[in-house]
Amino acid sequence: MYKIMSDTSCEMTLAQAQERNIELISFYMSANKKDYKKEVREWAVRDFYQFMVDHPRIFPTTSMPSTDDYYSAFKEVLDQNMDIICICTNAQFSGSYNAARLAGEMALEEYPDRRIEVIDATFNTVCHRLLLEEVVRLRNENTDYDELIDRIKIALPTGHIYFTAGNMDYLIAGGRLNKTVGKAANGLSIKPMLHLNSGKLSLTGIARGRKGSMNKALKQCIEYFKKENLNTDDYLFIIGYGYDIKEGEDYCSFVHDAFLSELNHNITITTGQIGATIAVHTGPYPIGIAFLRKL
């Protein structure tokens, strides 16, 4: 038997993880860079977004799970004579994967007859969630440990996220964008268009206004499926949203209808709230489309 584990960048609540028999290792969140609370356990993501909206000039931060956090969680599972598959958020964005890998090496010294596979998802947020949903499905079908790991690694390059942010404020605050350029972009209501795949985040353009940026993310997504001649039946889709739940739900319907009219494909698409580890960089209004080939 084996246990599926993940850091909380997978965008599942504790209840959702428990329903799927997934063990979550929390990131830490702070409003003052001093006092840190565990994501989803001590500070719910919804409450975190409300704080951001209520305090627009305060820029919260996050911190990765420690090696000790992972080691303690691994030890509990190993004591139950179970192996582990732990899927961590994109290693290019966080040290969570490296902390888990080190903890795994330490734990295996004590439990040499057990197995721990730590996997870099190479993406994050709601795309990470899609991967976990597939892993749970295959686990429930009694897929062999080694086969499941192989299928996960084959699927990783097929995960994509096309998204945008509400404004440039958090990119400026995080030092990822020049202050002068960022303020000028905000003044012109210019939004960044971003794409994440295989561990690499790229700026794919800009758009004017919220509606324009959401339309552009959708257009880029559909163009990718056309260019690669992909069958949408082979993929899972999810809309990631921030503070505004209704905006996410409306965008989900809009994307579904667009795929139907543009590609004549009736896709199944869900929604999920983007968590704190992304929101501290984008602000409270990220939104986008993620997809992953089925395992």
Domains of the chain: residue spans and CATH: 2-157 (3.40.50.10170), 158-293 (3.30.1180.10)
Residue 140 has pLDDT above 60, yes or no: yes
Predicted pLDDT of residue 236: 98
**Averaged over 14-18, what is the pLDDT?**
95
Beta strands in 2-47 (DSSP E): 2-7, 22-25, 28-30, 36-38
Q: What are the C-alpha distances in Å from 63 to residues 33, 153, 185, 273?
A: 9, 26, 29, 19
Q: Look-up: residue for tokens 């704080």?
A: 51
pLDDT tier for residue 229 given thresholds of 50, 70 and 90:
very high
Predicted pLDDT of residue 23: 98
**Averaged over 108-123, what is the pLDDT?**
98
Predicted pLDDT of residue 220: 97
Residue 176 has pLDDT above 60, yes or no: no
Handedness of CA 123, 142, 273, 264 (dihedral sign): positive
Burial code of 59-69, b = ≥16 C-beta within 10 A, e = fewer? bbbbbbbbbeb
Predicted pLDDT of residue 34: 86
Lateral strand order in the sheet of 190-197: 200-208, 190-197, 160-164, 287-293, 235-241, 269-273
More confident of the two residues 34 and 141: 141
Model confidence pLDDT, tens digit, residues 245-287: 999 999 999 999 999 999 999 999 999 999 998 899 889 999 9
**Averaged over 84-88, what is the pLDDT?**
99
Predicted pLDDT of residue 47: 94
Residue 171 has pLDDT above 80, yes or no: no
Residue 12, SS3 per DSSP: coil
The pTM of the full predicted model, rounded to 2 decimals, is: 0.94
**Averaged over 83-90, what is the pLDDT?**
98
Which of 58-67, 125-134, 161-170, 210-219 has the weakest average pLDDT?
161-170
Please, what is the average pLDDT of the chain?
Answer: 93
Give the closest residue to 28 by CA, choosing from 292, 263, 275.
275
Q: How far apart are CA 211 and CA 189, in angstroms?
A: 11
Q: Look-up: residue for tokens 């989900």?
A: 252
Residue 83 has pLDDT above 70, yes or no: yes
pLDDT tier for residue 135 given thresholds of 50, 70 and 90:
very high
**Averaged over 66-73, what is the pLDDT?**
98
**Averaged over 184-210, what is the pLDDT?**
84
- CA 152 and chain centroid, separation: 16
Residue 180 has pLDDT above 90, yes or no: no
Share of the chain above pLDDT 90, in %: 83
Beta carbons within 10 angstroms of residue 174's beta carbon: 13
Give the closest residue to 238 by CA, choosing from 226, 221, 220.
221
